[in-house]
Structure formats: C-alpha cells, structure tokens
Amino acid sequence: MHRESFHTPWRLYGLAALALAALLLGGCASFGDKPPVYEKDGVRYGVTKGTFRSRWWNYYQRGCSYLDGGYYKEAEQDFRAALQGRAKDQRWPRTYGLHFIPEYFPNRELGIALYHQQQVDESLRRLESSLEQRFSARAAFYLGEARKVWLAGNGKDAAPPEIEITSPAGGAVVGAAEVTLEGIARDDTFVSSIKIDQQDIDVRVSAAAVPFKRTVPLNPLQNTIRVEVADLTGKTSVVNIPIVSDVDGPLVSFDVPVVLPGALRGVAFDPSGIAVLRVAGKEAALAPSEEGTVTFAVELAKEDMTPPLRFECLDKLGNSTNGEPPLDLLVLNPRFPEVVFSSGPGDCVPLGGGLYALLVNGESIAVAAVPVQQGGVTIEMSNIREGQQYYMDEIVVALKVQADSPVRDIELNGQPVPVFPGRNSMRMSRRMRLEPGDNPLTAKAVDAGGAEGVDQKTVRREPDVTDMTKGKLAVAFLGGVGATTYPEAEADVEYILNALAATEPVQKRFSVVDRSLLQDILAEQNLSEALASSKNKLALGKLIPAELMIAARVRRDQESIEILLEGISTETAVRILPQVEVAGPYADLDRLIEELGIRLAQELPRVRGRVLQWDQPEITTDLNAAQGIRDSLKCLVFRTEPVTHPDTGESLGEKPVILGTGLINNVTEKFSTAEILPLEEEQGLVTPNIEAGHHVVIK
C-alpha cells in the first residue's frame, strides 16, 4: 500500500512528461508553418483593436475587417460566433462596464457575407431580420442587391410596376403655384425607385407597395407631372398627370370710349368662372356670353367717382384683377356738370399717380385717369414699382395692355398669359413667387400687326427669418470617426464632408463653418476620443465656432460605401441629430452625397410655432415631439411688423424682428419649453421683451 502510493505520483509525472514531449515534437515538426496573413494592397485584414479575447464584440470587429477585405468565409465564421454571444442588431451596445461600441450589426454583416458567397436565401433572411431590429441604409442596400439575384434566379418578376395616383385627379384645376401629389407604387415583386419630374422619392427599402407624397411646383396654366416607377429587375412604368395651375386673375376688357357719369361696360373671362365684378364698390350685373365669357355693366353716378376710381374682379378660385378703368375723361368740377369728352390729349397737366387735369382757359374742368393712347402697343405692370422691396414670397403682378390693333400675345417672364381675341385693351393679373434677393420681371405684349410693347422692372424679396444668416443653425463638419481598414479612408472622408457642405439643401438650411477654420483645432484632437464622452464633447464644443458639430462614420468594402452622420450640440453635448445615413455602390458616391444632403436638411426641419407663455427666462411654445422637436435644438423668437407702401397702402408683407434665441430643454407631445438667452447689445446683455402670441421657429 505504502509502496504503491509512493510510486503513483511519479507514474503521473512520467505521463505528463511524455505528453509535453509529444507537444514539443509536434511543435518542432511544424516549426516552419505560420498563421495565415490576410493582406491586400498593403492593408492587413482580420484584425481587431486591442487584444482578441473571444468576446462577441471581438468576433464582430474582426469579422467586419475580414468582410472589408473580401474574405467572406472567414467573416461568416466570426459573425456566427458573435451571434452566439449577442443576437440583436443595434447601435451603441454596452460591452462591459461603461464601455460602448458605436454599432453592432451581426445579422446584417452575416447577410452581406452570405450574399457574396451566393447563399442568397439565408442572406435574405439575415438582412430582413436586421432591418426588423434596426434600420440601416447598408442593410437596405444589400437587401435590394440580394433580391435582384434571387429574382434573376427564380424568374418571379412578370409585370412592370403599377402606379395609383390618389390626389389630385388628372386634369384638376388648382388655384395655387404648387400641388401635393400623393399615390402608391406597387409591383408583383419589389418597387425600388420612384421619380416625380425627375426628382427621386426616398425609397428606404424595396417593397411590394410604396406610398409616396411630394409637393410639386407648377407653372401657370397647363402642366404635366411625370411619375416614373422602377422595380428591382429594371422594369419601369410611367404616368403623366395633367394639372392646370390657375394663378391668374380674370381677364377684364372695358368697352371704349368710356364717358362718366353713365354706364361702364365690358367683358370678363376666367377658366374657373367669374364670381363678382365691382366698380367703386358697386357690383356689376353679369350676363353669360360666348366662349365662357361674361359681359358686365354698372351704372356710376357723379358721387361714385371720387378718385381714384377702382374696379375689382374675382374668379371662383379667389384670384383677383383690380385697377383703374381706362377712363377717357372723368368730370369732377361742379362748375362744369355736363359730360365733357376728349378724344385727344388736349391741354393736360400731369397731377401724379396716373392722373391728368384737363384745362380750359387755365381752369381745371376734369381729370383724366389715363392719358389717351399715342399709338403702338403699351404694357404696364401697373402695381409694380422699380426696386420695390417685399417681405413675402408671393406677389400679384397686375398687367394693363393697350394697343391700336387687337392684342395677339402677352407674356410675363416668358410664360404666356391668356388674351381676349379681338380686343385692343385688357387688364389681368398673375401670382408669382419671389426668390430671396433681386427678381427681374419682364412683361411683353404683341398686337396683330406685330407691334411690340415691353415693361421691365426689378423687385427685391427681403429675407425671411429662415433666410437670414443669423436665423440659420451654425454647423461644423468635423471629420471621420471610428476604425477603418481601407487605404483611402481619410481622403474619402475629406471629400465627402467638403462635398456635403456644398450641396444646395445644406447651404439653404445651415450656416456652414468653413472647414479651414477647424484645422488647427482638430489637429490637436483625436476625434474618436473627443466624442467618446459627454465631458470630452463639451470640451470640444467650447472650441468649435458652431452650434452643431457633425462627424461622419464611413464604412467601405470591396464594392460599396456607407456614410453615417452624427450631430451633437456644442452647448449640451446632447446628440440632437438622428442617424442620417446612406449606402450604395462606391461608384455612385456623388449621388449618395447629394442624397445625404437632402436627408440631413429633412431631419432638422424649420418648424414654426407660437409662444404660449413667457415666464422669464423660459418660454412655453406649441412646438412638440410630433413635429420632430428634440431637446437641445435652438429656436428663434420673433415678432412681425406689417409693411405697406406709403403712397398706395398696398401690403408689402411682414418684416420679421428677432427678439431672442432659445435653447429647447423639454419636449412633450403637446408643447415644449425653451430657455431664452439674453440679447447682446452695445449696452450689454438685455432681456428680450417677449409676449404670448409672438412667433418661434427652429433655428
């Protein structure tokens, strides 16, 4: 017993020694072998940041590296291993303690790896599962690619897409310069793209049915809106919707000569019908005539003719034409009560405002509202003054045309205006949109003999509060964050952010900080570390001359690229920009950047509202969560002052007066609150004078 126990340990030690020797011999036998190295173009793939400890996030990171290099089988194995540890796709999952990673999408990345290995059925399941858990543009793009392969192999796509327009009806007449088009695109497999008048509608994920909605600008009169839908196999369908935009006031032509007191007669026409015509406040009698016109007549006594004598004609859509009738002579002097008619200019003295005095022996006996026609063609934008400033985005241009022969054609800024056949004199109006800044206006008329008259003027639209530089959110595009493994990563990020800052939607929506001003600041920063914690974000935000700082995460593999933007308040370090992302073929990079600019502007809409309560230093507004309002967004509080022309009393719009800037600090389903920041003036900080009912707009 004692002897056996004495020798047993030595027997075990001997077995262990033999095993160790075998391992050593085996190691010596394979001493010349090395683990495989995954390298392309000088870049190593299948790598991780830090030590590989066989945790789910290690497998995910290494799998992404394999995938970027095109090592799909190795990537597949790592993603399956990652899914064993954590099965849900998400952003910013916690790894351990207070450590997080920006994204974790093992289902998506496994689906992509399988797609590249032609395992399409499981690829589809994985990509669809990823999108159900958390949307990503990269998953949506590769799902579309996988569906194309599946459709090509199964021959399922039999018919082109169908397009249903729910509003407006074809041939509709709208009394506006734009229309909201709504409909549904359907396909027996998957709708992949929708275009309205060559403008893309955002189809985030290809689907069998995709609803769409878009506000479409219209030209005056006849329009055709083109809707084009394509499916994943390239089959297309097109629908053309005719729409009439009636932004013209009625055509009005007075019978001449006109002598008052007496009857004022003429004809009027509008496609929607004439609702009413008044002269000096008196409603004219209307009688249907040929070709949809109406004749009118109104009796005017001497007491009705207090200058200026004006008329107004409205159509059934609310458009109006107004002005002064083409009076040859208007008797005003009670010492000469009889009607005096002059067919020539006579001895006239201009009184201003379009009025002329007729003199007899040096005494005024009458006032002519319009001088007698001197031959040829004249056209006048009668309510437009050269250099006029407007505080509105739409104005009405009144046209007055007079010719020796019947008027044949009229144009306003190259767009045709309806005319009365056979009439020498007519009045009409048209609503026109104004762009910020100077707007040239050109009116032209041609008579039957080819004689031409032109009137040219320039008006200016002053900036709305949303157009003012101080009314725009100041944005700084910082750079790229996150690990990348492809060689051109830094150059791609620079190109993307510079091109993004120059896109039209970004320029209109934001005040973009010149990136050259950020170089010295960013040269001293590790951007990924600077954005890793609230403390670091606040420290960086104090250095950035902007209100919103945006960083990009760019992921590029052998064929595609994904761009994701993150926006952070420089004042609170709160992430105020939802994930804005695009993905697609690298060859389509410029198109993707344009799409990214549109989405970025759409995610921060310029929502307007009213102040409900002022409880210094905080306001309560009717802006709410349903409108996309979020904590740490900035807003402007302003009031408006009506602006009228000093001579005519015509409304020129409302001038905005900014009262202060607010930082939104609480958002509910029905209202929000914001802390108002003091105004900086020469005498120091001043508390703004705000009242309930004042306006508020997201900066």
CATH 1.25.40.10 region(s) of the chain?
A: 38-154
Cβ–Cβ < 8 Å for 105, 174: no
pLDDT surpassing 60 at residue 336: no
pLDDT tens-digit series, residues 637-672:
999 999 998 877 788 999 998 898 999 999 999 999
CATH 2.40.10.410 region(s) of the chain?
A: 608-698
pLDDT tens-digit series, residues 438-447:
999 999 999 9
End-to-end CA distance of the chain: 92
CATH 3.40.50.10070 region(s) of the chain?
A: 469-603
Q: What is the pLDDT of residue 347?
A: 56
Task: Kindly list the distances between the CA atom of residue 320 and the CA atoms of 16, 246, 247, 418, in Å, as whole numbers in the listed order.
Answer: 104, 11, 9, 15
Cβ–Cβ < 8 Å for 260, 305: yes
pLDDT tens-digit series, residues 667-699:
999 999 999 987 665 445 566 789 999 999 999
User: In 3D, which of 171, 167, 204, 206 has the Cα closest to residue 186?
Assistant: 206
CATH 2.60.40.650 region(s) of the chain?
A: 371-462
CATH fold of 371-462:
Immunoglobulin-like (2.60.40)
Q: Positive or negative CA dihedral for 147, 148, 154, 157? A: positive
Q: What is the pLDDT of residue 331?
A: 46
CATH fold of 162-245:
Immunoglobulin-like (2.60.40)
pLDDT tens-digit series, residues 341-363:
333 344 555 555 455 555 555 55
> The domain 469-603: what is its CATH number?
3.40.50.10070
> The domain 608-698: what is its CATH number?
2.40.10.410
What's 169's DSSP letter? P
CATH 2.60.40.10 region(s) of the chain?
A: 162-245
pLDDT surpassing 50 at residue 340: no
> The domain 38-154: what is its CATH number?
1.25.40.10
Q: For residues 196 and 213, give the distance between their C-alpha atoms in angstroms, rounded to a whole number.
A: 9
Does residue 653 come out as left (phi exceeding 0), alpha (psi in the -120 to 50 range) or beta?
A: left
Cβ–Cβ < 8 Å for 273, 250: no
| pTM of the predicted model as reported, rounded to 2 decimal places | 0.78
